[in-house]
Structure 1
Amino acid sequence: MPGSRPVTLDVPAGGTAALVASPRTGTAVARVVVGLTPPRAGRILVAGRDVTGLPPPRRQVGYVPAGGALLPHLTVRRNIEYGQRKRERVHEVANDWVDSLVTHLELAPALDLLPHLLSEAQRFRVALARAAACLPEVLVVDLPVGATGAGRLTDVLPRVCPPGAAGSAVLVCSADPAVLAEIPVRVPVERVEAADR
């Protein structure tokens, strides 16, 4: 974007930071970090690795887009498993992790349902489980203002961390005061050109 400034973020493993931005800017940054849009300048680092030129499946970045973007023709279980389909992981370990996510996020009763039959809170948890299913090193959550389905992030995010692991670095893109009140590390941005991690 013309006249924009680069943004620098450093989120440690297991830490959470918020990018305080308009929905358009927050989504733009999220897409750059995930790899859906190239940055105009700068680099994206994940655990010290430069992933700027890598395609999304090779970045080890999970993404919860605004609204969840669940696939309407797939059941809850199939939506969650969809997050693993291009990951190079041992299937037994991955399947065990999906089962753990389902339990921790209280999704077992909804596994055979289609997304339109879920509450907003359930849809958010399914999108979160799908993003966490590939054991990402970074988790990007795009939350527009008024997205009530997210509930208290401080209650939900720890549930997607494997036992004994440091956890993912979590970047929340939002301008919602209720969401931001839960996250002590906040970086305000009006217009951005590139995102660094």
Structure 2
Amino acid sequence: MATLRLCALVAGPDAAAVDLDVPAGATAALVAAPPVGTAVARVVSGLAAPVAGRVLVGDREVTALPPPQRRIAYVPAGGALLPHLTVRRNIAYGQRRRERVREVADAWTATVVDRLELAPTLGLRPHLLSEAQRFRVALARAVVCLPEALVIDLPTGPAGGGRLTELLGRLTPPDTPGVAVLVCTAEPGALPDVPVAAEVGG
């Protein structure tokens, strides 16, 4: 596992530069208005290019790498679950490009499903789930691919930060210090146990 580093990262033409380090096993918040926070999350995860700056995972610079090569998982606001797939298949979707040994990943997936209390929902489609359940499915899909870092674009409301710290505490892979977790949020008060690493204006 590795530290996630943002070095003078500018996610959009009107956004301020972001400098922060999130060590392996730690969770930190980036406080920003939703458009800016989402832009940072998308840039870090590789879905958009930055205006300037760098993204590093440990000693690897990943700024120019496509998402599958970054080892950074992303939970978008709202979860972005595939509506035509069951919960089981949505979670498995996160493993399609995994590089770890299959037996390890499969065992970890079963552990994640159990720890996030998703077993009763595996045969359901997303529209039958509560907002909080959909968020947990999106979280499971992100972590089953055994990333080194995790970026969460935290929604407001019931699916937001109320239980996030508790949920993340259940998701440390065996024999590792855990992933570096960056939470982009407009509501720092929703994460009372998570230190604010940076605040970004539009």
Tell me, yes or no, if structure 1 residue 109 matches structure 2 residue 120. Answer: yes
Unmatched tracts of structure 1, length 5 or more: 192-197
Aligned residue number for residue 64 of structure 2? 53
Question: Of Structure 1 and Structure 2, which has the larger fraction of its residues in strand?
Answer: 2
Q: Distance in 2 between matches of 1:17 and 1:79?
A: 27
Aligned residue number for residue 84 of structure 2? 73
Q: Distance in 2 between matches of 1:60 and 1:40?
A: 22
- Give the stretch that moved more between structures: 51-60 or 148-157: 148-157
Q: Distance in 1 between matches of 2:141 and 2:45?
A: 14
Aligned residue number for residue 143 of structure 1? 154
| Contact 1:16–1:185 (CA under 8 A) maintained in structure 2 | no
Name the amino acid aligned to 2:159.
G
Tell me, yes or no, if structure 1 residue 43 matches structure 2 residue 54. Answer: yes
Q: Distance in 2 between matches of 1:44 and 1:186?
A: 15
Tell me, yes or no, if structure 1 residue 123 matches structure 2 residue 134. Answer: yes
Counterpart secondary structure, 2:17: strand
Count of paired positions: 190
Q: Distance in 2 between matches of 1:4 and 1:155?
A: 31
Alignment root-mean-square deviation, CA: 1.3
Relative to 1, partners in 2 of residues 1:2 and 1:34: Cα closer, same or farther, differing over 3 Å?
A: closer
Counterpart secondary structure, 1:38: coil
Q: Distance in 1 between matches of 2:190 and 2:110?
A: 28
Tell me, yes or no, if structure 1 residue 33 matches structure 2 residue 44. Answer: yes
Normalising by the residue count of structure 2, what TM-score does the alignment of the two structures yield? 0.90
| Contact 1:35–1:55 (CA under 8 A) maintained in structure 2 | yes
Q: Distance in 1 between matches of 2:25 and 2:13?
A: 34
Q: Distance in 2 between matches of 1:181 and 1:21?
A: 16
Aligned residue number for residue 154 of structure 1? 165
2:31 to 14, 20, 23: 20
Unmatched tracts of structure 2, length 5 or more: 1-11
Normalising by the residue count of structure 1, what TM-score does the alignment of the two structures yield? 0.92
**Sequence identity percentage:** 65
Counterpart secondary structure, 2:151: strand
| Contact 1:144–1:176 (CA under 8 A) maintained in structure 2 | no
